[in-house]
Amino acid sequence: MFAFVVYFRIPRRERCGLGAARGATAIEETQVDLHEYQAKRLFAEHGVPIPSGEVAYTPQEARDIARDLGGKVVVKAQVHTGGRGKAGGVKLANSPEEAEAAAEQILGMDIKGYTVNKVLVDQQAPGIDQEIYLAVLIDRARRRPMIMASAAGGMDIEQVADETPEKIIKVLVDPYLGVRSYQTTYIADKLGLPQELWRDFAKLVAGLYDCFVSNDASLTEVNPLVITGEGKLLAVDGKMSIDDNSLARQSRLAEMRDVEEEPESEREARLAGINFIQLDGNIGCMVNGAGLAMSTMDIIKLFGGEPANFLDIGGGAKAEQVATALRLILSDPNVEAVLFNIFGGITRGDEVARGILEALGEIDTDVPMVVRLAGTNAEEGREILSEAEMETAATLSEAARKAVAAAQGEEM
């Protein structure tokens, strides 16, 4: 399958990784999923034709924008989730008054847990003859950007790919050559586009690819790309995700992150450079390394417990980060035990131990904790912790068993 699932906003740790430890500034960022209006504005910068439109935060603004656009508009909720059409988040309006009423209904609406606080008011396309799907994304297996298109536009493309894979056209792009005109001709021909549109289509595809590359996107998607009644191509809906590893050099895009949609705890973690995801269980976990953090969650579950979170303090975590991570874990009222599993490599056991002590000095808690330290400077770490009288474990299995028992109120 393709990488259509748009990444949720996931906190990242130090942007520079090893570099951060060398003194470079640690900028904390997440994957940025852009709103439709942001994506389409970027498309337009690269020559992709989009409808005229503006963003409104109030019904009055929506009415004014509709009036400026000539009255016939579509009012669209701007939220980071699919299925807004089905949820009633997209409405046609044929006058400024109708636009105001539509915005009144949509603003404040809850769509899959996201509250709508802005709408895009776009001019309606002058008649729609055909709807096409067009995207640029990364084919990880072949290690190339890929252009994907389908004449079955306007539909859920994953469903098209599942049920009628022959309707999906794929073209790989050499990163050094970029999109060549024979490739766009191939796609246009396969799509059955009228020949008089081939040149415009070639320009549009090249523009979308430029937009993908120059913004370090992981996805630029137009769905649908329509052929209007006037015989013109128009990108009426768009989606774009940015590779979060690139945000250090894409500062304009980093600022487009919609912080209002980010859970408080995850934002705090991100700002502290911690990779944190809230889950439903009662055993808080603090681990270094994503693979080990996932394995720690897995083993807790295997032994009959439920992890309260995924937390990777990253490579080379400092005492301060460890303290922040522990405060985050303990701020979840469901947490009934905490498991520390630190296997030192680039992270040093003594730093982690100091962070644990620092946090415990500030927080008054009686939540039982199990510590398992191994690897670089683990012995120094255990020595530091010996004064805190914490439950320790030699192996991951032992640590998980003890944490599960503690969460269930049993003796460890």
Q: Is residue 44 part of the contact set for other proteins (CB under 8 A)?
A: no
If binding is defined by CB under 8 A, does position 151 make contact with other proteins?
Answer: no
* Residues recorded for the chain: 412
**Rounded Cα gap, residues 192 and 213, in angstroms:** 27
Of the candidate residues 18, 92, 271, 388, the single one contacting other proteins (CB under 8 A): 18
Nearer to other proteins, 59 or 207 (CB): 207
CB closer to other proteins, 71 vs 315: 315
For the segment 210-269, give every residue that binds other proteins (CB under 8 A).
213, 216, 218, 243, 245-246, 248-249
Q: Minimal distance in Å, beta carbon 148 to other proteins?
A: 15
Beta carbon of residue 79, minimum distance to other proteins (angstroms, whole number): 16
397 binds other proteins, rule: CB under 8 A: yes
Is 221 catalytic? The answer is yes
* DSSP summary character for residue 261: G
The smaller minimum CB distance to other proteins, of residues 24 and 412, is found at 24
209 is catalytic: no
Q: How, if at all, do strands 110-111 and 32-34 pair?
A: unpaired
Q: Does 357 bind other proteins (CB under 8 A)?
A: no
In eight-state DSSP terms, residue 288 is S
Helix, strand, coil percentages, rounded to 5, for the chain: 35, 25, 40
Question: For the chain, how far is it from start to end, CA to CA, in angstroms?
Answer: 45
CB 404 within 8 A of CB 285: no
Q: Which stretch binds other proteins (CB under 8 A): 226-234, 253-261, 331-339, 342-350?
A: 342-350
Distance CA 370, CA 314 (A): 20
Nearest distance from C-beta of residue 115 to other proteins, angstroms: 20
Residues 376 and 395: their CA atoms lie apart, in Å, by 15
- Which range touches other proteins (CB under 8 A), out of 46-54, 113-121, 136-144, 228-236? 136-144
Which one of the spans 40-48, 116-124, 135-143, 182-190 is the region binding other proteins (CB under 8 A)? 135-143
Say how far apart CA 100 and CA 280 lie, in whole Å.
40
> Which DSSP string corresponds to 73-106?
EEEEE--SSS-TTTTT-EEEESSHHHHHHHHHHH
Cα angle 336-342-347, degrees, rounded to a multiple of 5 = 135
Residue with tokens 């009288």: 389
Of 63 and 402, nearer to other proteins (C-beta) is: 402
At closest approach, how far in Å is the CB of 105 from other proteins?
Answer: 29
From 133, 266, 336, 351, the catalytic residue: 133
Cβ nearer to other proteins, comparing 60 with 395: 395
For 137, the 3-state DSSP assignment is strand
Which residues have a catalytic role annotated?
133, 221
